[in-house]
Amino acid sequence: MIPGVRLTDGTVLLRPPCRADAAAQTAAVRESLPELHPWMDWATDQYDEAAALRWIEVVGLAWEHSSAFHFAITDAQSGEYFGSCGIDGINSAYRFCNLGYWVRTGRTRQGIAVRAARLTAHFAFEAVGLVRAEIVTASENIASQRVAQKVGAHFEGILLNRMVVHTDVHDAAMYSLTPADFDLPITKPA
């Protein structure tokens, strides 16, 4: 685990989620169900604080094992909970990951997901030593694709039958980021 990680650009603050986030996370998910449910298996009418606490526990274990790094996205000044952003699916042999994000409906279209995705990608390259971050989104999920485009991710194509959400099979748009997109050198493994 990378202790005490805090990522900020002065507008948003990303930090590892904690148990105290459960109520705010639950409220954000419940508010956003119409937008999240089509693309996220976990976003259901049954989502409650117990589900949020289970997710926070799993995320904590992933941090401890350096297998995934998910952040709570919060307001840098007030601490308001906006959503989540993180990297997972880390392939240590080829040094790439999946980058994902969601922002509560009441705070969308304010650049929050873009800010969070940039901070998280930068973290993936500098702190984790990865050389590629992939954003894979259902081809019908235009909002997530707009975020990828605004982050400056490179569109690489449509991947056929790449995602299954609930029981629906979707083609996916593939985007990527590399350290060069942030004027960072590629770090050599220790």
Domain-wise residue ranges, the chain: 7-182
How confident is the model at residue 2, as a pLDDT? Answer: 57
Q: Is residue 79 classed exposed, middle or buried when 0-12, 13-18 and 19+ CB atoms within 10 A define those classes?
A: exposed
Q: What's the whole-number mean pLDDT along residues 105-115?
A: 97
Report residue 142 as tokens: 């235009």
User: Under the phi-then-psi rule, with left for phi > 0, alpha for psi from -120 to 50, and beta for the rest, what region is 95?
Assistant: left
Mean pLDDT score of the chain: 95
Task: Please answer whether residues 37 and 43 qualify as being in contact, where contact means their C-beta atoms are separated by less than 8 angstroms.
Answer: yes
For the segment 100-109, the average pLDDT, to the nearest whole number, is 96
Helices (H), ranges, the chain: 22-31, 33-36, 49-65, 112-126, 142-151
Domain covering 7-182, topology = Aminopeptidase (3.40.630)
The pLDDT, as a whole number, for residue 58 is 96
- 188 confidence band (pLDDT: 50, 70, 90): confident
Q: How many percent of the chain have pLDDT more than 70?
A: 98
**Residue ranges of E strands in 81-167:** 81-91, 96-103, 132-138, 154-165
- The pTM score is 0.94
The residue to which tokens 């999920």 are assigned? 141
What would the mean pLDDT of 72-82 be, rounded to a whole number?
A: 97
pLDDT band at 1 (very low <50, low <70, confident <90, very high): very low
132-137 mean pLDDT:
98
Confidence grade of residue 187 (pLDDT, cut at 50, 70, 90):
confident
Instruction: Please report, for residues 121, 163, 171, the alpha-carbon distance to residue 126 in angstroms, rounded to integers and kept in the order given.
Output: 9, 29, 31
**Stated length of the chain:** 190
CB 4 within 8 A of CB 107: no
